[in-house]
Amino acid sequence: MNFKKYLENKRNIIDKALDEYLPSEENSPSIIHKAMRYSVFGGGKRIRPILTLATAELFGKDTESVIKTACGIELIHTFSLIHDDLPSIDNDDFRRGKPSSHKVFGEAIAILAGDALLVSGFDLIIKNMEVKEIKKQSILKVIKETSFYIGTENMLGGQVEDISIKNAEDIKKENLINLYMKKTAALICLSIRSGAILSGANQRQLKALTKYGENIGLAFQIVDDMLDIMHDQRDAGKLNYANKFGMKESKNESERLIEEAKDSLKIFNSEAEILRNVADYLLTRKR
Ligand code: GRG
């Protein structure tokens, strides 16, 4: 199977699973389930759950054994996007070319839909217990890691730093990278580490995969910034690596990070080919 087909196939599996796990729009209270589904099925690329599945495959585990955790992380990602778009945070009227949650459902329901997705994300990770061959201890570890990687030392903390910066011009490169590590790379690391932990990876393997995750996570955010500029979504007040350091430097830096990410996979053989392909895909993606 070529890599394009691999991504397509995994996206279909993830979409089907999410549809099965999320409450139906008819279930009461209907409005919250509608809002959850509106954002979950709003055209996301499913990069994070694909990373969880691909990492499990590296250890010979099939999709079924980690799909609930993979989808749980996608729900948490969706929650962060809804809250990120809120008027009091980034104030974005559009997400993936469609009206953001608060524009469709109002601010109160958007906040609650985000909360509901966060809770449902944890619930799905816990439900991975239903898979017999997965050790209960590894699920507890993933729950602990989830709280860590989305908490105040990581994703949430990165978001706080982001909104606290008064002048985007003043930030130093190392501080911006540190912020991106928390705001974006942390959840990507969690996606990879979860797949590895549930599959029984050892410390050396986890360390290599974490390095891979940090580097693709940073590259992902820099590419995202370049795409924003290319689609003319330049916002002077917003932190943007490409805006600040230029397109050429951003291209060089993202390529360097992807090479470094692939380099940390050298302890694995051909079984890590998909993860190498994911790294390359993140550089060439158009959105
Ligand atoms: C309370 C834990 C907690 C978090 C709330 C709002 C927030 C704090 C964090 C938001 C962090 C954030 C929005 C980071 C940006 C990361 C990013 C580039 C997202 C876009 O990812 P894609 O392109 O999205 O993978 P798709 O659309 O494909 O799903």
**Ligand 1 pocket mutation pick from 155, 180, 285 by most atoms within 8 angstroms of CB:** 155
Protein residues with CB under 6 Å of any ligand 1 atom: 44-45, 47, 80-81, 83-84, 89, 96, 150, 155-156, 159, 183-184, 221, 224
**Ligand 1 pocket mutation pick from 183, 235, 283, 287 by most atoms within 8 angstroms of CB:** 183
Question: Which pLDDT tens digits describe the chain residue by residue (287 residues)?
Answer: 799 999 999 999 999 999 999 999 999 999 999 999 999 999 999 999 999 999 999 999 999 999 999 999 999 999 999 999 999 999 999 999 999 999 999 999 999 999 999 999 999 999 999 999 999 999 999 999 999 999 999 999 999 999 999 888 889 999 999 999 999 999 999 999 999 999 999 999 999 999 999 999 999 999 999 999 998 777 767 889 999 999 999 999 999 999 999 999 999 999 999 999 999 999 999 87
- Distance from residue 63's CA to the centre of ligand 1 (Å): 24
Look at the pTM and tell me if it is higher than 0.85: yes
User: What does the DSSP assignment read for the chain?
Assistant: --HHHHHHHHHHHHHHHHHHHSPPTTSSSHHHHHHHHHHHTS----HHHHHHHHHHHHTT--HHHHHHHHHHHHHHHHHHHHHHHSTTTT--SEETTEE-HHHHH-HHHHHHHHHHHHHHHHHHHHHGGGSTTS-HHHHHHHHHHHHHHHSTTTHHHHHHHHHH-S-GGG--HHHHHHHHIIIIIHHHHHHHHHHHHHTT--HHHHHHHHHHHHHHHHHHHHHHHHHHHHTT---TTS--HHHHH-HHHHHHHHHHHHHHHHHGGGGS-GGGHHHHHHHHHHHH---
